[in-house]
Amino acid sequence: MSGWWMAVGAGARRRTGAGREPVPRPRYRVVALPHAGGWPSAFRSWWQVLPEDVECVVAQLPGRGVRINEPPLTRVEPLVDALGRGLAELEPLPYAIIGHSFGSVLGYELARAMEQKGLPPALLAVSARQPPCFPSEPPFAHLRSDTELLEHLTDIGGMSPVLMDRPDLVQPSLRAIRADLEAMETYRRPLSGTRVPILALSAVDDPVVVHDRMHLWSLETSGGFSRQAFTGGHFYLYTPANAAAVAARLVPGLDTPRSSAAPLPSPLAR
């Protein structure tokens, strides 16, 4: 598998031959892109809710995981170019893309890139990130001091408070987080959108994203558009119940389980 993508869950067992029972041949693929600084393990709850005949591959960017000694990239374009080339090399399967926070930016551009290659996803799910018509504005998070950035991450639930006094443990992660934030905050809306259907996902209690802006992701596609809202803050997507609910929207043939999904206000429901 490309160094830019890591197979996880049943997909990893299939590729390594691990496990006593044979893993079914995949019928579908979920392509996942985590938040700023996120490792493939960010989607570990998804490994538990996807059936064994659905492969999950998670982006593995420079500066984290097994690539922690590589310098991280600070612009969206080279990241998407490499991710697209790696994804095109995988065994052909119908697939959906899910991106969370910074991963939504990468996911949107990746969907556009794969569409241009003639390999579009069946669905793009964008989570916890405002649409490109609302670009990032100063003051930029990637320019904050380490202390300020750690405090911000702690406030939004992205860093355990017990690590605040151990910068030696989090310094390697901060480098990747800062690079991803710079890529996200310098990103600008492209001149054209996509024909891939978009599912916009958000949490009503997210302290980072303006929930009522999420319906404007509909401007980025000429395909279908839908929304779903949850509770759980900025990192709601990684809880098992919410992971299962979203997976049911992405993968054909999965039943929608109970979840903490919240009903959308009727004027914004699409």
Q: Is the dihedral of CA 41, 208, 71, 86 positive or negative?
A: positive
From residue 264, how far is each of 64, 122, 162, 211 by CA, in Å? 36, 24, 35, 10
Q: Which of 35, 45, 101, 202 is catalytic?
A: 101
Which candidate, 169, 259, 157, places its Cα nearest to that of 207? 157
User: Left if phi > 0, otherwise alpha if psi is -120 to 50, otherwise beta: which for 148?
Assistant: alpha
Packing angle, helices 146-155 and 167-186, rounded to 10: 80
Per the CB < 8 A criterion, the answer to whether 134 and 216 are in contact is yes
Phi and psi at residue 117, to the nearest 5°: -80, -5
Six token digits for residue 143: 């320019």
Catalytic residue, chosen from 100, 142, 211, 234, is: 234
Whether 136 is a known active-site residue: answer: no
Distance of CA 134 to CAs 35, 209, 217, 248, Å? 18, 11, 10, 29
Strand order in the sheet with 95-100: 5-8, 54-59, 28-33, 95-100, 123-127, 198-203, 225-230, 261-262
Question: Would residue 101 show up in a list of annotated catalytic residues for this protein?
Answer: yes
d(CA 138, CA 202) in angstroms, rounded, equals: 23
Residues forming the active site: 101, 234
